[in-house]
Structure 1
Amino acid sequence: MAQIPFSDPPWLRGLPSPYYTDSHRKWQAAIRPLLQRLLHDHAVEWEAAETVPEHVFGQFAAANLLIATLPAPLPIDWLKRVGIHELPGGLKVEDYDTMHNVIFGDEIGRSGLAGPPGSLTTGMAFGVPPIIKFGSPQLQERFLPDLLLGKKRCCIAITEPDAGSDVAGITATATKSECGKFYIVNGTKKWITNGIWSDYATMAVRTGPPGSGASGLSLLVVPLKNFPGVTMRRLKVSGQISAGTTYIELDDVRVPVENLIGKEGRGMQYIMTNFNHERLAVAVGTTRQARVALSAAFAYVLKREAFGKPLMEQAVVRHRLAKAGALLESQSAWVEQFAYQMTRMSKEDADRELGGLTALLKAHAGMVFKECADTAVLLFGGNGYTRSGQGRIVEMIYREVPGTRIPGGSEDVMLDLSIRQLVKLYQAKTKALESAKI
């Protein structure tokens, strides 16, 4: 059966691509049916129920699917220590690259809903990497075995009621106890995905004095569930409800000083590095959501009749599809190019050269998603505004648009950040060239 246009990226519609190897194609073929069975067959039902059943996380862990959310290259030594040598399809952990990661992000979003996959993977994807990258050997020994095997869950806790994209404005404090053995943590965290189910949070706290800005931030592994001084409650958000958005209150929470990630005062550096992976992941998933919305609209207008003929025969309908489709395929091609570049660059070079562009990629993904979701709702008409029936998925997707344009750095902040970073990079290169001439 022929595929609906825009329903898959071009390389999966049989068109040639320079980016994908046999390993990538085998990986995609292995995970699609697995994700369909474990996740997509029930995603709409679980999102409507607002919670993914607890056993699904265990199924993902047992299939080593949680590991696929980590940035490439994977922590090979640690994975082999805990007995993980391969991912689904026989992919060896040492062969996993950014293209494999992007394929996974695309495939896990095929339901069109970010809530169900986000409820399973967000903590591993963004909460665990700082421990892997910057944690001391002792810290890793205490936490990584259980986290990598899915025996414990972690989240990333940066945002506060008054400090979202303005990370340097974080006010949650971590003050050393008189005995010097604990950080006493006080403050609040808001909009924390997966928080309600998490045993730990990789949390941004202020260890420096008030007004110290970015230089006063640190990262701690803070115990959450059933821990003294920690109170958590779920927040009812418009979309991605099943992802478990959480409000966390911290009242004199005693955290061992050994739970410090890296060094005091380096938190902003660690957060920014982590954001690069988060923003690419958001861009990938958002691009797939845009595909689901637009291809659903395409299929609908082929069969829906008005004024005595299918909607597809209306020029204005074709025009809307064309505008959204052009944006979608441009965004998709940029994601692929971006991922390919990362497979050919060192981590240091990628962070330097692509940091600003990662912010722009994430922001643009949200704008493309909005256009595709708008198009879908308008072409579905009343059905696209109804929480049941043939337009149900489009209505659900439409409510998720703000959930991609705000988290991970809000859109306007990302647009500004991208240009500031590009200017900074240009000026540094210009200065280096001028120095070389002297």
Structure 2
Amino acid sequence: MSTQPKTAKVYRRVSRDEVAKHNKPDDLWIIVDSYVYDLSDFIDVHPGGEAVLQQPDIAGQDATETFFGLHNVAILQRPGTQKMIVGQIEGEESEVRYPQAGELSQVPYAEPTWLLPKYKSPYYNESHRRLQREMRTLVDEHVIPESRLRDADGKRPDPKLVQMFGRIGLNAMQMGSGKHLLRRKLFADIQPEEFDHFHELIIKQEFARVSSRGFMVGLSGGMVIGLPPILNFGSDDLKEEIVEPVLAGEKFISLAITEAFAGSDVRGLKTYAKKTEDGEHYIVNGTKKWITNGHFADYFTTAVRTDEGYAMILIPRALGVETRPIHTSYSSSAGTAFVMFNNIKVPSRYLVGKDGMGIPIVLSNFNHERWVICCGVARSSRAACEVLFKWMMQRKVFGKPLSNQAVVRQKLGFLLAQVEACQAYLENITYQMNNMSYNDQSKYLAGQIALLKAWSTRVAHEVADNAVQIMGGRGLTTTGLGAPIEMYNRTYKFDAVLGGSEEIMSDLGIRQAIRSYPRGARL
């Protein structure tokens, strides 16, 4: 990998003495990483003001250390910035690593150990590594640029990106293993019969590197949790109508369970579906709240009460469903919505499974949803730690690098140990998922996944809290070096609530354990 911001061009060589002559407001050069930048036309629009660039240790001087104390390396890779380069210091070469799409990070602990050259893992084979390489490039080249635009304007992710995922088989892969993958061309030439939960874990963790929680939920969150009930319990006719358009990115789906009246207490929901006398329709009345992708969804996989108890019904927006956006602390690109069903007449053919089986269908979805959340939490926490490591190495305080502060090293060490443990716990559970039937997973892993979710979001809490302390004011600023930490701190709590709160998860884990507690065990 080249360390130069632009490898295709060779710049003329300039002496430091020549650069020093250009130290006036209308003729101002600086040096950053051996490259000479002409800021004469930029000084008036510099976000930090003219005075910063006119300081005697900046104008006409080597400003590398000052630059990286204030800005990230991506600024130097922008086309507009590169146009300011007028030369390179004679006898010197670039020393900064300029990230290229698809590459692994060289920062310690920035990647899970299975990706490091000197480490081994029993879980991953060549197909997993190939998928990771191609996912990394895809995310870097297509997903991250789109996320930055949507973080800025709050609009929904571009459907064309989701449709591209559909064409290359990536949407189907996000549903996990199953019959829906058979005879389908998958991304990175993964064969349907070899696809397992580690392939899925890689997809989730590469997406999590985007470090934009709201955007990523908007990109595929509704599909990942809204489509499985159709795949697993829908009739053949329902699958034929819904599955392929959703996987192609032509239609969007959301899971509508939570209400203002019922969150983790699913049995407390009040949305009611009354079957008509002729049995041909259900009349649905009620509301749903905090529905991911709900504001732009075409279908709502909806949990309802019925005369038989509880049921799951797929409700097309076209039947008259109304939505309005809910403003949350993460990006509005997630399409989080309040959903209103007012006398919606739904044909009975949209019933998912059997009437009265709603609760088992809802519960069957939870294990996978929670595992998916754990995949993202483990990777996004690691990404935040990478930012902290870089900051610690380049920030100077009291004339010395921040890395000289023992308290900062202690904080980072504490966080990295927890992130590594979180990944190891996740990989162990993923291995068990690969070697258990669906029924056995429900019996033996529901509690394990619940405990992992509760613990991993506690790890995220520690990372977010300490990250802001280490970054200081930058960790509270939506732009600049601390922007990833600000966003992480603002959004990490969603995973501690979505799919079951930490308290409910911890309780579920212990209740599952109590069920298998040996009767004769005594202290």
Q: TM-score, normalised by structure 2?
A: 0.77
Q: Please tell me the residue identity of whatever aligns with 1:9.
A: P
Cα displacement string for residues 20-39 of structure 1 (whole angstroms, at most 9, x for unaligned residues):
11111111112110122220
- Pick aligned residue for 1:129 from 210, 228, 231: 228
1:200 aligns with 2:293: no
In 1, Cα distance between equivalents of 2:470 and 2:316: 47
Shift of 1:133: 0.8
In 2, Cα distance between equivalents of 1:91 and 1:75: 14
1:345 aligns with 2:436: yes
Shift of 1:240: 4.2
In 1, Cα distance between equivalents of 2:430 and 2:178: 13
Cα displacement string for residues 177-224 of structure 1 (whole angstroms, at most 9, x for unaligned residues):
233211011100011111112111111000137xxxxxx211000112
Look up the match of 2:206: 107
Cα displacement string for residues 378-426 of structure 1 (whole angstroms, at most 9, x for unaligned residues):
1111111111111111101111111111110111111111111121233
- Pick aligned residue for 1:118 from 209, 217, 221: 217
Contact 1:67 1:124 in 2 (8 A): no
5 Å-filtered alignment, 1:32-71, equals 32-51=136-155, 52-71=157-176
In 1, Cα distance between equivalents of 2:402 and 2:138: 36
In 2, Cα distance between equivalents of 1:268 and 1:206: 10
Shift of 1:331: 0.3
Look up the match of 2:113: 10
Shift of 1:309: 0.7
In 1, Cα distance between equivalents of 2:139 and 2:123: 23
Contact 2:377 2:457 in 1 (8 A): yes
Cα displacement string for residues 206-254 of structure 1 (whole angstroms, at most 9, x for unaligned residues):
0137xxxxxx211000112x432x2101111001432111110110001
- Pick aligned residue for 2:319 from 220, 227, 249: 227
Q: Which has the higher helix share?
A: 1
Contact 2:329 2:491 in 1 (8 A): yes
- Pick aligned residue for 2:248 from 142, 146, 149: 149
Q: Please tell me the residue identity of whatever aligns with 1:218.
A: A
Cα displacement string for residues 88-145 of structure 1 (whole angstroms, at most 9, x for unaligned residues):
1111222210010011110011121222222121122111111111112222222223
Shift of 1:150: 2.3
In 2, Cα distance between equivalents of 1:118 and 1:71: 17
SS in structure 2 at match of 1:202: strand
Contact 2:172 2:181 in 1 (8 A): no
Contact 2:271 2:286 in 1 (8 A): yes
Q: Please tell me the residue identity of whatever aligns with 2:311.
A: S
Contact 1:147 1:154 in 2 (8 A): yes
Look up the match of 1:165: 264
Q: Please tell me the residue identity of whatever aligns with 2:223.
A: M
| Structure 1 unaligned residues grouped into runs of 5+ | 210-215, 432-438
Cα displacement string for residues 256-301 of structure 1 (whole angstroms, at most 9, x for unaligned residues):
1111111111111111111000000000011111011111011101
* Higher RCO (CA-CA < 8 Å; seq separation 6+): 1
- Pick aligned residue for 2:311 from 212, 218, 235: 218
In 2, Cα distance between equivalents of 1:260 and 1:73: 22
Contact 2:139 2:210 in 1 (8 A): no
Contact 2:319 2:345 in 1 (8 A): no
Look up the match of 1:394: 485
Contact 2:159 2:249 in 1 (8 A): no
The change in CA–CA distance for 1:91 and 1:311 in structure 2 (over 3 A counts) is: same
Contact 1:39 1:117 in 2 (8 A): no
Q: Please tell me the residue identity of whatever aligns with 1:66.
A: N
Look up the match of 1:312: 403
SS in structure 2 at match of 1:426: coil
Look up the match of 1:378: 469
Contact 1:363 1:415 in 2 (8 A): yes
Number of residue equivalences: 416
Q: Please tell me the residue identity of whatever aligns with 2:516.
A: L
Contact 2:172 2:180 in 1 (8 A): no
Look up the match of 1:29: 133
Task: Please tell me whether Structure 1 or Structure 2 has the larger radius of gyration of its CA atoms.
Answer: 2
- Pick aligned residue for 1:98 from 193, 197, 203: 197
Task: Quote the RMSD (CA, aligned, Å).
Answer: 1.7
1:185 aligns with 2:290: no
In 2, Cα distance between equivalents of 1:286 and 1:48: 23
Q: Please tell me the residue identity of whatever aligns with 2:112.
A: P
SS in structure 2 at match of 1:6: coil
Contact 2:173 2:181 in 1 (8 A): no
The change in CA–CA distance for 1:87 and 1:345 in structure 2 (over 3 A counts) is: same
Q: Please tell me the residue identity of whatever aligns with 1:219.
A: M
Question: Which stretch has the larger CA shift, 164-173 or 60-69?
Answer: 60-69
Look up the match of 1:212: none
Contact 2:286 2:341 in 1 (8 A): yes
| Structure 2 unaligned residues grouped into runs of 5+ | 1-96, 98-104
In 1, Cα distance between equivalents of 2:207 and 2:428: 20
Shift of 1:74: 4.8
Look up the match of 2:32: none
SS in structure 2 at match of 1:357: helix
Look up the match of 2:62: none
Amino-acid identity (%)? 38
The change in CA–CA distance for 1:240 and 1:410 in structure 2 (over 3 A counts) is: farther
1:326 aligns with 2:417: yes
Shift of 1:59: 2.1
Q: Please tell me the residue identity of whatever aligns with 2:312.
A: L
Contact 1:294 1:373 in 2 (8 A): no
